[in-house]
Structure 1
Amino acid sequence: MADTLPGASAPAHWNLDTVVAQLRDSREVTHKIRYQGNIRELPSKTALVGILQGLCAALFPTHYGRAGLTDESIDYFVGDTLNTTLSLLSEQVRRGLVFGTDAGKLTGAQLTERAQQITREFASQLPAIRALLVSDLQAAYQGDPAATSISEILLCYPGTVAVIYYRLAHALYRLDAKLVARLISDIAHSDTGIDIHPAAQIGGSFFIDHGTGVVIGETAIIGQHVRLYQAVTLGARRFPADATGALIKGNARHPIVEDDVVIYAGATILGRITIGRGSTIGGNVWLTHDVAPGSNVSQADARSNCPE
């Protein structure tokens, strides 16, 4: 009997033994990039997607949780969801802690204990995070005439998803679960097109309308009642280097946006500058200098004030 059906191609041969051996040599010897030379265990982005779904369900159970919840069942649902989700989160935090600066000084048991402490503290912050998120939802409802309800904003607005994920990631980042926080930000970026570094500081009643292409850098500080539109960048103007040419990390290099500021679509705001309270920044403005409180900046204004 023939090995293949009439007209079918013969099985291909890819010389895999040689390719696999060469990849091993690259991976283990010539181009080795594994952390500390031997760390294989990484946080799982797939696991974190499920964890985020669980956290959102606990925060807003009737929107992101289970249909048909009642006054009698909702607390049981939230408690069970949190118990499962936080256990999964603790494991991802433990994996991320291996990449911390002092991880080499800790035993496996100490890393596990530290991850549990971080997760416990994170859980205690969830009511305060939800309160902040409710202020963000109210700002979205008040700031967008197309919004018909808070439920619509929770279910349909990508900016809301990005802000929820940011608030969760920011809390973890401050608790030193930095790699997990960065992964959450990357998941938000993939899902929404909005890129917010988890170290950025953002006050309450924050609203990103539409949102695609928004970028908020690591050291940005944003006050209360700020509204951004799509394609706004709060970025760095330059990247200082040390004597060896390596970039200096951690410098304050992103804008400060004070309370009650509106920044319209396509504006690019660069460097450690301050946008004064109550200002409005017009669309497509390129801005690299401070703006006084109560200002209205258009493209023409920005060009006329740009340094030579």
Structure 2
Amino acid sequence: MDKEKIIEELNKQKKQPYLDYRLKAATEDFTNTLFYTLFDVNTPVAENLDKLERKFSELVNLACWDLNKPCTKVWDNYVQSLPLILEKLNLDAEAILNCDPASLSIQEVYMAYPGFYAIAIYRLAHELYAQGFPLVPRLMTEYAHRQTGVDINPGAQIGKSFFIDHATGVVIGETAVIHDNVKVYQGVTLGALYVAKNLQKIKRHPTIKSNVTIYANATILGGETVIGENSVIGGNAWLTASVPANSTVFHTPEIKIKTVSNV
């Protein structure tokens, strides 16, 4: 075995000059610290804001490759947005408590509901996404995806009092728009009707108006698809066209009953 030759060949194939996995680890550490700062009663806010600023500076050094973008100024804008983000997340937690008969306390929602955790990391990542900070928001939501099974792109726009129940398998695409008081159950996909690179700047994912409930494993596709307010989308429904307000959409399964003669 020619070890030096192998090393030479491997180095030739390492063609991504900015592929530094320290960024991934640092983002996850930043995300954990941020989450505890907002919610944990024993975590001192003042002290942790200083820690977060230092951690964010590390992210800037690792992720801000374009010297013409003022990434170092993002933190000041971001930290000012945290009170409003926390206010929205408290509304999300209250929505879960009020909607789910299985929830025993608000503390249970914050600590035990994967849907709430996924929403929290999405909202914290979305603000960075909106400011044009590269890659970090995507790493934040992918970290939450890995832990909860919920894949929310940080570019999605989600209104107040959002409720994801059971969580696992939910997919919400980059250009999805969700209005207020929407409830989503496990396995729901808000996706694109077509996938092609030239559609990158086009709205590809559906719009969900206020007070809509989408039950388990429903799939709603397309950037022009709008689900009107106060509608209910039943489990396993497949939609690629708009639905007017106050509608009920359901999937009707074919049922065959076995008898002695056809068993």
After TM superposition, the score normalised by the length of structure 1 is 0.78
Give the deviation of 1:16 after TM superposition: 2.9
- Which residue of structure 2 lines up, in the alignment, with residue 95 of structure 1? 62
Give the deviation of 1:285 after TM superposition: 0.5
Give the deviation of 1:60 after TM superposition: 1.0
Q: Structure 1's 171 and 43: CA in aligned 2 closer, same or farther, altered over 3 A?
A: farther
Amino acid at match of 2:73: Q
Amino acid at match of 2:107: S
Following the alignment from structure 1 to structure 2, what is the Cα–Cα distance between the partners of residues 41 and 26? 15
- Which residue of structure 1 lines up, in the alignment, with residue 126 of structure 2? 170
Judge conservation of contact 1:43–1:92 (CA < 8 Å) in 2.
no
- Which residue of structure 2 lines up, in the alignment, with residue 212 of structure 1? 168
SS at match of 2:199: coil
1:157 aligns with 2:124: no
1:277 aligns with 2:256: no
Amino acid at match of 1:86: E
Give the deviation of 1:26 after TM superposition: 2.2
Following the alignment from structure 1 to structure 2, what is the Cα–Cα distance between the partners of residues 252 and 40? 29
Judge conservation of contact 2:179–2:208 (CA < 8 Å) in 1.
yes
Moved over 3 A (4+): 38-43
Q: Structure 1's 285 and 129: CA in aligned 2 closer, same or farther, altered over 3 A?
A: same
2:214 is matched with which residue: 237, 260, 263? 263
Judge conservation of contact 2:23–2:63 (CA < 8 Å) in 1.
no
Q: CA RMSD in A?
A: 1.8
Judge conservation of contact 1:162–1:192 (CA < 8 Å) in 2.
yes
- Which residue of structure 2 lines up, in the alignment, with residue 78 of structure 1? 45
User: Which has more radius of gyration?
Assistant: 1
1:188 aligns with 2:144: yes
Give the deviation of 1:94 after TM superposition: 4.1
Give the deviation of 1:147 after TM superposition: 0.3
Following the alignment from structure 1 to structure 2, what is the Cα–Cα distance between the partners of residues 93 and 279? 43
Amino acid at match of 2:216: A
SS at match of 1:128: helix
Judge conservation of contact 1:203–1:223 (CA < 8 Å) in 2.
yes
Give the deviation of 1:90 after TM superposition: 2.7
Judge conservation of contact 1:230–1:265 (CA < 8 Å) in 2.
yes
Following the alignment from structure 1 to structure 2, what is the Cα–Cα distance between the partners of residues 250 and 193? 26
Give the deviation of 1:225 after TM superposition: 0.3
Amino acid at match of 1:160: F
Amino acid at match of 2:8: A
Give the deviation of 1:56 after TM superposition: 1.2
- Which residue of structure 2 lines up, in the alignment, with residue 3 of structure 1? none
After TM superposition, the score normalised by the length of structure 2 is 0.90
Q: How many residues align?
A: 252
Amino acid at match of 1:25: K
SS at match of 1:44: helix
Amino acid at match of 1:230: Q
Instruction: Determine what percentage of the aligned residue pairs are the same residue.
Output: 39
**Mapping for residues 1-308 of structure 1, pairs under 5 Å:** 15-27=2-14, 32=15, 34=16, 38-39=17-18, 41=20, 44-62=23-41, 65-66=42-43, 77-98=44-65, 103=66, 106=68, 114-239=70-195, 247-272=198-223, 273-300=225-252
Amino acid at match of 1:236: A
Give the deviation of 1:143 after TM superposition: 0.8
**Per-residue deviation, residues 180-206 of structure 1 (Å, max 9, x unmatched):** 111101111111110000010000100
Structure 1: gaps spanning 5 or more residues: 1-13, 67-76, 241-245, 302-308
Following the alignment from structure 2 to structure 1, what is the Cα–Cα distance between the partners of residues 57 and 166? 33
Following the alignment from structure 1 to structure 2, what is the Cα–Cα distance between the partners of residues 177 and 187? 17
Following the alignment from structure 1 to structure 2, what is the Cα–Cα distance between the partners of residues 277 and 133? 22
**Per-residue deviation, residues 254-275 of structure 1 (Å, max 9, x unmatched):** 0000000000000000002000
